[in-house]
Structure 1
Amino acid sequence: MFTRSIATMLLLAAATPALAHTGHDTASGLLAGISHPMGGLDHVLAMVSVGLFATLLGGRALWALPASFVGMMLVGGLMGLAGVGIPAVEIGIAASVVVLGAVVSLGWAWPVGAAMALVGLFAIFHGYAHGAEIPAEAGAALYSAGFALASMGLHGLGIALGLLTARQAHASRLAGAAVAVAGIVLLAG
């Protein structure tokens, strides 16, 4: 069953473009902010991986990694709203999927501070994409709250998956490997 889920995720990654950055949303406010991260497989995989990574480390990492990601994502969102240029945003986002998936796959213990720095760095790219692509009619505050809430939900999903598979370390590691492969497909696309 789990192997089929991984295979399905890989097929979806191979067949789906990174749609979170197409500017296709015309809704405004909170709902637009919530839907934006859900529209791109790259965002979903990276944010779920943050939750899996947090579960791998345990303890205070369960709240510190998601908090670091959301906080720095909001900083990146402000940079996008302000028009500050960040080069290679799409590459940074796809690289976050590869690296976070690989980190989970390898199962190495990281110091929580270093893990927070890693996810925070990648969060800037994700937030920038959200902020730079805010629909013209959306209010920045509600839109930002929406993408922060959606991200927290995806982190929670990753934590729940990590806790469910805690007794089967190979399951989380296999999920991490699948995410990393999906990230490589995104980078190649």
Structure 2
Amino acid sequence: MNTSPTLSMVRRAAVAVALTVAAGVAQAHEGHGTHGLTAGLAHPFAGADHLLAMIAVGVWSSVALPSAQRLAGPAFFLIALLAGAVLGVQTGVGLFVEAGVALSVTALGMLLLGRSRLPAYAGFALTTAAGLLHGLAHGAGWPLDSTFAAYAVGFVAGSALLHAAGLLAGGWLARVPAWVWRLQAAGVGAAGLFMFASRI
């Protein structure tokens, strides 16, 4: 069976991330981390910026990518999400990150408008950048009384659920009239601009 180089690379990176997170969970002390797992799982659902961005990535991947590569968009996002969270915990983040998260929603709305007219590598670059910004925000929200590994498992799992919802929604949106598609894509972009204006 032939596997595309892009999908193969994503699979290798995803396995590496999964092993890293699993190793961190294995080191967590018994009785600790429940709060972190719950907080991490809830975080992607707690704000419209995270909800819209992660669903948008799934929708774009469903509509713009070949069926064999459909999981690549969410995979790039999740890998960057985890990397950004680790960076956010180590360095801390400022207000610029929240503004960047809002702008990433607008950028993903524009990606939806472009649909399959943009090359896949441009979509992967954008979803990776968005994942990094959202990861920085997740890292800043880490509850310090819990293990980071448990928190990370939670927000990666919650984000993956939202990507899955986007993939399912994309299958339906691919069949709607063009004006409905443009309307929902513009709505995502406008929501990002509104959030950006409220954060500057």
TM interval, short-chain normalised: 0.7 to 0.9
Q: Which residue of 1 aligns with 2:70?
A: 62
Deviation for aligned residue 1:78: 0.4
Q: Contact 2:35–2:146 at 8 Å: present in 1 too?
A: yes
Using the alignment, how far apart are the partners of 2:138 and 2:163 within structure 1? 17
| SS of match in other structure, 1:88 | helix
Q: Within 5 A, what are the aligned runs for 1:18-167?
A: 28-59=35-66, 60-83=68-91, 85=93, 88-167=96-175
Deviation for aligned residue 1:29: 2.0
Q: Which residue of 2 aligns with 1:184?
A: 193
Letter in 1 for 2:149: A
Give the CA RMSD over aligned residues: 1.7
Letter in 2 for 1:45: L
| SS of match in other structure, 2:145 | coil
- With 65-74 and 50-59 compared, the bigger mean Cα shift is at 50-59
Using the alignment, how far apart are the partners of 1:144 and 1:129 within structure 2? 12
Deviation for aligned residue 1:147: 0.6
Using the alignment, how far apart are the partners of 1:62 and 1:138 within structure 2? 34
Deviation for aligned residue 1:56: 2.3
Letter in 2 for 1:43: H
Q: Which residue of 2 aligns with 1:11?
A: none
Q: Contact 1:97–1:183 at 8 Å: present in 2 too?
A: yes
Give the fraction of aligned pairs with identical amino acids, expressed as a percent: 36
Count of matched residue positions in the alignment of Structure 1 and Structure 2? 163
- With 174-183 and 58-67 compared, the bigger mean Cα shift is at 58-67
Using the alignment, how far apart are the partners of 1:73 and 1:44 within structure 2? 14
Measured against aligned partners, the alpha-carbon deviations of 1:95-150 in whole angstroms (never above 9, x if no partner) come to 11111012212334232222111110111110011112201122111111111111
Greater share of residues in helix: 2
Q: Contact 2:101–2:133 at 8 Å: present in 1 too?
A: yes
Deviation for aligned residue 1:84: 5.1
Using the alignment, how far apart are the partners of 1:105 and 1:113 within structure 2? 16
Q: Which residue of 2 aligns with 1:23?
A: none
Using the alignment, how far apart are the partners of 1:114 and 1:86 within structure 2? 27
Deviation for aligned residue 1:87: 6.9
Using the alignment, how far apart are the partners of 2:56 and 2:112 within structure 1? 7
| SS of match in other structure, 2:139 | helix
Using the alignment, how far apart are the partners of 2:41 and 2:87 within structure 1? 19
Greater radius of gyration (CA) = 2
Q: Contact 1:48–1:155 at 8 Å: present in 2 too?
A: yes
| SS of match in other structure, 2:71 | helix
Q: Contact 2:111–2:123 at 8 Å: present in 1 too?
A: no
Using the alignment, how far apart are the partners of 2:148 and 2:181 within structure 1? 36
